[in-house]
């Protein structure tokens, strides 16, 4: 498998079901949906995994574009590792070509951070993936900020974005999708330079 022919696996993290669709915890699904629109594809049930997938190409038209498998695990967030591992094995994707797109409490809303490896910071989706694959995968961390006052973290991530946040949400999801494309076409350092700050 040469560098430019094997697919990338881009996993948007979230919880399945309409009751979770607008939650902060589901920003990974929102980014995956936008990337699927850019590809011109529709999510379909995966044959070998508890996930929905769409295959296509992302990036500039021509040889610089990359083959991708976009995935939304249809397990709950804390069981994401199983579907991701099944997809990794089925599509023969090395761990370092897997990107998890997820919400991040320790970053302000509207801010992105890209990294390779690291801890899970209490994020149950990452915890499950790391337990299955090890930590050496890429992350696009979409900041959602900390809960106000003494609000429970679990309650906060399972609430919809506020009215003020929703005004910025389309822009933020679009920027996160751009960051995913930059990661796969330009590499981590250049993507970090462009999207941090």
Whether 129 shows a pLDDT value over 90: the answer reads: yes
What does the pLDDT read at residue 114?
98
**Catalytic residue ranges:** 25
In contact, 140 and 176? CB cutoff 8 Å: yes
Residue 84 in any domain: the answer is yes
Residue 4 has a pLDDT of 54
Residue 158: inside a domain = yes
Give domain status of residue 147, yes or no: yes
- Short-list 74, 133, 52, CA closest to 99: 133
Q: What is the domain-level CATH number for residue 69? A: 3.40.50.1470
- In this prediction, residue 2 carries a pLDDT of 40
Domain for residue 149, yes or no? yes
**Residue 2: inside a domain, yes or no?**
no
How many domains are there within the chain? Answer: 1
Output the pLDDT for position 1.
34
Do the Cβ atoms of 133 and 85 come closer than 8 Å? yes
Let me know if residue 3 belongs to a domain.
Answer: no
Q: At what angle do helices 163-186 and 188-195 cross, to 10 degrees?
A: 150
Give alpha helix (H) positions in the chain: 27-39, 81-91, 124-133, 153-157, 163-186, 188-195
> What letter does residue 7 receive in the DSSP assignment?
P
Domain-located, residue 137:
yes
pTM of the entire structure?
Answer: 0.95
| 23 in a structural domain | yes
User: 175-194: per-residue pLDDT in tens?
Assistant: 999 999 999 999 999 999 99
Residue 3 has pLDDT above 70, yes or no: no
Residues 40-71: tens digit of each pLDDT: 999 999 988 999 999 999 988 888 889 999 99
| 16-33 CB burial, b ≥16 within 10 A, e <16 | beeebeebbbbbbbbbbb
Tell me the average pLDDT across 74-92: 96
Domain hosting 143: range is: 8-195
């Amino acid at each position: 498998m040469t560098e430019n022919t094997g697919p990338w696996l881009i996993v948007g993290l979230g919880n399945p079901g309409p009751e979770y669709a607008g939650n902060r915890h589901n920003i990974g699904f929102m980014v995956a949906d936008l990337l699927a629109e850019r590809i011109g594809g529709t999510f379909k049930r995966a044959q070998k995994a508890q996930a929905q997938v769409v295959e296509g190409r992302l990036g500039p038209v021509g040889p610089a574009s990359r083959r991708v498998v976009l995935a939304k695990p249809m397990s709950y967030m804390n069981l994401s590792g199983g579907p991701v591992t099944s997809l990794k094995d089925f599509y023969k994707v090395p761990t370092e070509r897997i990107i998890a797109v997820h919400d991040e409490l320790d970053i302000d809303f509207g801010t992105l951070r890209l990294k390779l490896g690291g801890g899970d910071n209490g994020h149950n989706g990452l915890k499950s993936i790391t337990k299955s694959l090890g930590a050496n995968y890429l992350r696009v961390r979409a900041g959602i900020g900390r809960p106000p006052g003494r609000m429970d973290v679990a309650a906060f991530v399972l609430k919809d974005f506020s009215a003020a946040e929703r005004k910025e949400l389309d822009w933020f999801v679009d920027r996160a999708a751009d960051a995913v494309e930059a990661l796969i076409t330009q590499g981590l350092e250049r993507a970090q330079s462009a999207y941090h700050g």
